[in-house]
Amino acid sequence: MKISRRVFASTCLSLFLLTSLHTSNAQTTKPGPATKPTIVIVHGAWGGSWAFRHVEALLREKGFNVYRPQLTGLGERVHLSRPDIGLSTHIDDVVNMVLFEDLHDIILVGHSYGGMVITGVADRVPDRIRRLVYVGAFVPNDGETVMSLGASRGTWLKDMIKGDYIVPPWVKPNQPPPKDVPQPLQTFSEPIVLKNKAGFKVPATYILTVEAGKEARDDDFWPQAQRAKERGWPVEQLTADHNAQWSAPEALAAMLASIR
């Protein structure tokens, strides 16, 4: 079958125009926005991941992927509570979630006791973490415990020890969930072990929560914020009580979203 010169020329012109249009579009298309880091939030003592549901929702509205690992023996895993659960158990909880979910480029947030946990996680998987964020949290050195860090605040912790558990006065039997529950004593008495030098190089930010009308230096975690400052970390202040996830969730979410 013969093709006329006019048809051949028309076909070539059409192909040329289509190719030029595709090339032009490829050159003018702007790259999409950079992917936002994954935020992993580790809750504090006696509590559970349930306490950060609202904060997670606010962060997801801002485009973040959020995980809230539940520490063994607390929250929804209270049925697994045992006296031999220690700080290392809780560090394993978060490390294994990071590994099995294959998470990278993480902003790892620790609230209160959660600061002990994220410090241990950074020692184990520093390559997975973009930045640590301590929210009114402990900043331990190697060999320290919650009990030793809290010693300067008097006997308040020792007064709550009931056998193998630490039971604060607000934790009462027969309360409906979600609720705070007794904390295994070993999580407060087990020293943290920090051996990986790379873990100390992970960038970190400290957020000190201070109630309205009060002085920052009067906050229980002021010494921890000062320790963070001595390490050269940026220290930010949030107007909220110790549980900012309830008293100032929007402000907390906005602050977490701004940290890179």
Q: Which two tokens stand for residue 60?
A: 């997801």
Nearest alpha carbon to residue 166 among 75, 83, 50: 83
Residue type, 168: P
> CA triplet 259, 32, 54: central angle to 5 degrees?
40
Q: Which two tokens stand for residue 207?
A: 């957020």
Residues marked as catalytic: 112
Residues 6+ apart with CB under 8 A from 126: 196, 198, 199, 201, 202
Beta pairing class for 129-135 and 106-111: parallel
CB count within 10 Å of CB 12 equals: 10
Nearest alpha carbon to residue 112 among 206, 239, 212: 206
Query: What DSSP element (H or E) covers 91?
Result: helix 87-100
CB count within 10 Å of CB 247 equals: 16
φ, ψ for residue 90, nearest 5 deg:
-70, -35
The Cα–Cα gap between 252 and 259 comes to 11
